[in-house]
Structure formats: structure tokens, C-alpha cells
Amino acid sequence: MVAMTARRPVAILFLKAPLAGAVKTRLAADIGALPAWRFYGDTAQRIGARLAHRPEWDLVVAATPRRSARHLRRGLPRLAGLPCIDQGEGDLGARMARCLDRFAPRPRILFGADIPGIDAGVVGRAFDLLRQSDLLFGPAADGGFWSVGQRGPMQCGGLFDRVPWSRPETLAATLCNVPRHRRLAFAETLADVDDGAAFRAWTGG
């Protein structure tokens, strides 16, 4: 196992505790609650296995709701040995900002647990881009973003203010909040499996 240090970049796996009916609700409306729950759990554990115990970064799980450790051990056993923090209270933007700010000034990239295309190569290339930037986004094919990263001591501030989540304009609205003086980079575009059409495209069905 690679021990955490105060110098390495931080990869933050941002997820919900795998409670049936509480994860991937938009996808569940199309394919059913059980298949959506299985997709979420399988994807989160694959991502964790791909990124854990690497020398390039520390992998941390950021979970909601509070006190999710028991649910993670039962529902996502392959993630159970990883460091785990609470996302805290508030909407999605507030919780993401809190997790990113927590690890400043280390380079840190936060990403969702439901993006099948995330692997060590994708995250490594994103960290490479972040070395020359202040802020990084990984666009999602549906108009949102699968990752957001920061470098240095600057806090998120109002980065996620008034952002309409789960909409085609989510990334564009977030970019409107980026101060002009901040150097911005973009990682590669990945698919976010949020509905039945995206699920069928991913599975080839």
C-alpha cells in the first residue's frame, strides 16, 4: 500500500453511499432501480481499483450522506480500505467545493464515481494538464463535467454559484463563474451514463 503524503496530488472519488433507490435515479427511471444500483456499484469499484495505491497520487473517497463508512464497507467492499471523508452538507456545488478546498494547496482533482471511462491514464493526463493551470475541467458528453481540478492555495469561492445541475448547459454555466485571471485547462471528454440511452450506448445494447 502507498502511504498518503502531504505532497502528492489528491484524486478525490466523489460518490453517494450505495443505497438502493438513492443512486442514479435518472438512470433508474429508464432501466430500473436494481440495474442502476448495480451499474453504480460496479463502476465505482472499478474506478477505485484502477486508481488506488499508485505512486503518482493519493486516492481519497468523498462520500455522502454523513457517516457512510458502514454502507461503503457493505456495498462497495473494494473501496473499504481507502481514506474516506464526508462531503458535508449543502447542494452538489457546496459539497464539491468543500472537498476541493480541503486539500489545498495540493493539486487535486475531483471526479464522479459513475463515469466508466475513468482510468489511471485519464487521471494522469488530467494531472499533467493541471500542472500548467490553476483550474481544470473534464467535459462530459452531455454538457456537464466529469471532473474538476484545482492547484495551489486558491479556494473555490463562487465557482459553483447558480449552476443548473444535470443540464446541457451545466459546464458552460460553471465556466461563467471562473475569474478571468485563472489559467484554465480541459481534460478529455468522457461519457456520463445518466439515462437509458447513454446506458445502452455504453453497453452496446
CATH number for 165: 3.90.550.10
Looking at residue 67, its pLDDT comes to 66
Residue 169 has pLDDT above 80, yes or no: yes
Q: What is the 3-state secondary structure (H, E, C) of the chain?
A: CCCCCCCCCEEEEEEECCCCCCCCHHHHHHHCHHHHHHHHHHHHHHHHHHHCCCCCCEEEEEEECCCCHHHHHHHCHHHCCCCEEECCCCCHHHHHHHHHHHCCCCCEEEEECCCCCCCHHHHHHHHHHHCCCCEEEEEECCCCEEEEEECCCCCCCCCCCCCCCCCCCHHHHHHCCCCCCCCEEECCCECCCCCHHHHHHHHCC
Counting the structural domains of the chain, the total is 1
Look up the domain containing 15 and give its range.
10-203
On whether residue 29 sits in a domain, the answer given is: yes
The pLDDT of 24-36, averaged and rounded, is: 89
Q: Tell me, yes or no, whether 196 lies in a domain.
A: yes
Q: Is the pLDDT of residue 157 over 80?
A: yes
Q: Percentage of residues in the chain with pLDDT exceeding 70?
A: 94
Asked if the structure places residue 5 within a domain, the reply is no
What's the pTM value of the predicted model, to 2 decimals? 0.93
Structural domain includes residue 100: yes
In a domain, 103, yes or no: yes
Please tell me the least confidently modeled range out of 37-41, 106-110, 182-186, 193-197: 193-197
**Does 3 fall in a domain?**
no
Residue 150 lies in a domain: yes
Q: Is residue 53 part of a domain?
A: yes
